[in-house]
């Protein structure tokens, strides 16, 4: 678990450093410059650095660190929750900035400024993360440094299938953002974090959801299937009616000598 502790320390340090940078920029820069450039640069750096470290955990953790998918999914959801709560309204995503431009909520120059800031933030995130990996504080970072010079595509599927999955994920993400854009952050941030987690592991999450009807880590109630009582009532004889019930005394009287069942005379008796 040393690799996980090192990664958690990296996430914590990234959030603290970016939060300090936001406060410094907000105090030193005009409001327009902060909202259009500095906030987007810091937000993209924060999100980019966390995503790079998270991708390393997802690729090397299962076979080098023994991390299961439940741990990775939980960690990914927590990262999106913290990012959504600390980004101070930054898009930190080029497609979200372009969406605001198409909705006529941002001018062309301001959109270009945001895109430039996001690109600068991602470059800073790459430099910061590679510097942290170079310290080789855990075995996972040692392996990452060994594999880093061998450039390869992170896409582990055919291009057509990968484009379809990425397009579907982007579609649902932006549809959710449009639907919740006027909602309170207390509702919007968890919804976006959960959706981002689901779209990142689409096939696995859907398989668990369809098989169990719920995600046991997140929901206790079955979301898809109706609950059935696991204690079944044993099948037996039907309950006796009013005419079939009799007291023990009546049962004894019905078997008196010279009487048949139900108080009828015995055959041959007078």
- The verdict on residue 59 lying in a domain is yes
Does residue 77 share a domain with residue 201?
no
Residue range(s) defining the domain that contains residue 197: 158-212
Question: Which uninterrupted H or E stretch holds 162?
Answer: helix 159-179
- Domains identified in the chain, total number: 2
143 in the same domain as 169: no
Which segment, 201-205, 242-246, 252-256, is predicted with the most confidence on average? Answer: 201-205
- % of the chain at pLDDT higher than 70: 74
Whole-number average pLDDT of the chain:
80
**Residue 233 placed within a domain:** no
The model's confidence at residue 25, banded by pLDDT at 50, 70 and 90, is very high
pLDDT at 194: 82
Same domain, 144 and 15: yes
Task: List Cα–Cα distances, 83 to 7, 13, 18, 77, 222, in angstroms.
Answer: 16, 13, 10, 10, 29
Residue 10 shares a structural domain with residue 134: yes
- Same domain assignment for residues 166 and 66: no
Mean pLDDT of 10-33: 95
Question: What is the reported pTM?
Answer: 0.72
Q: Is residue 102 located within the same domain as residue 180?
A: no
73 and 140 fall within a common domain: yes
Final residue in a domain of this structure, among 212, 231, 252:
212
Distances (CA, A) of 95 to 92, 162, 171, 231: 9, 18, 11, 52
pLDDT confidence bin for 246, thresholds 50/70/90: low
Of 47, 48, 72, the C-alpha closest to 58 is: 72
Structure tokens at 263: 């108080």
- Same domain, yes or no: 10 and 97: yes
Residue 130 lies in a domain: yes
Q: Does residue 262 come out as left (phi exceeding 0), alpha (psi in the -120 to 50 range) or beta?
A: left
User: In terms of domains, do 185 and 81 share one?
Assistant: no
Segment 189-236, tens digit of pLDDT? 888 888 877 776 675 665 666 677 776 766 677 766 666 554 455 555
Determine, yes or no, domain membership for 242: no
Whole-number pLDDT of residue 117: 97
Let me know whether 130 and 166 are in one domain.
Answer: no
Share of the chain above pLDDT 90, in %: 40
């Amino acid at each position: 678990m040393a690799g996980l502790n090192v990664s958690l320390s990296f996430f914590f340090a990234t959030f603290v450093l970016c939060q300090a940078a936001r406060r410094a920029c907000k105090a030193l820069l005009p409001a327009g410059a902060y909202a259009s450039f500095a906030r987007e640069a810091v937000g993209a750096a924060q999100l980019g650095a966390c995503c790079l470290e998270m991708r390393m955990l997802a690729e090397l953790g299962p076979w080098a660190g023994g991390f299961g998918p439940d741990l990775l999914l939980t960690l990914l959801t927590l990262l999106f929750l913290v990012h959504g709560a600390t980004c101070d309204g930054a898009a930190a995503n080029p497609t979200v900035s372009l969406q605001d431009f198409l909705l006529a909520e941002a001018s062309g120059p301001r959109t270009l400024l945001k895109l430039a800031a996001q690109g600068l933030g991602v470059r800073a995130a790459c430099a910061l993360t590679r510097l942290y990996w170079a310290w080789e504080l855990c075995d996972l970072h040692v392996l990452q440094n060994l594999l880093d010079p061998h450039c390869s595509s992170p896409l582990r599927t055919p291009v057509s299938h990968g484009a379809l999955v990425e397009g579907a994920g982007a579609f649902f993400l932006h549809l959710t953002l449009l639907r919740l854009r006027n909602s309170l952050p207390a509702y919007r941030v968890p919804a976006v974090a959960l959706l981002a987690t689901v779209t990142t592991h689409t096939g696995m999450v859907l398989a668990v959801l369809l098989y169990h009807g719920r995600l046991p880590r997140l929901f206790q109630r079955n979301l898809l299937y109706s609950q059935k009582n696991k204690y079944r009532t044993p099948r037996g004889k039907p309950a006796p009616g009013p005419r079939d019930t009799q007291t023990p005394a009546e049962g004894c009287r019905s078997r008196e000598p010279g009487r048949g069942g139900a108080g009828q005379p015995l055959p041959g008796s007078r």
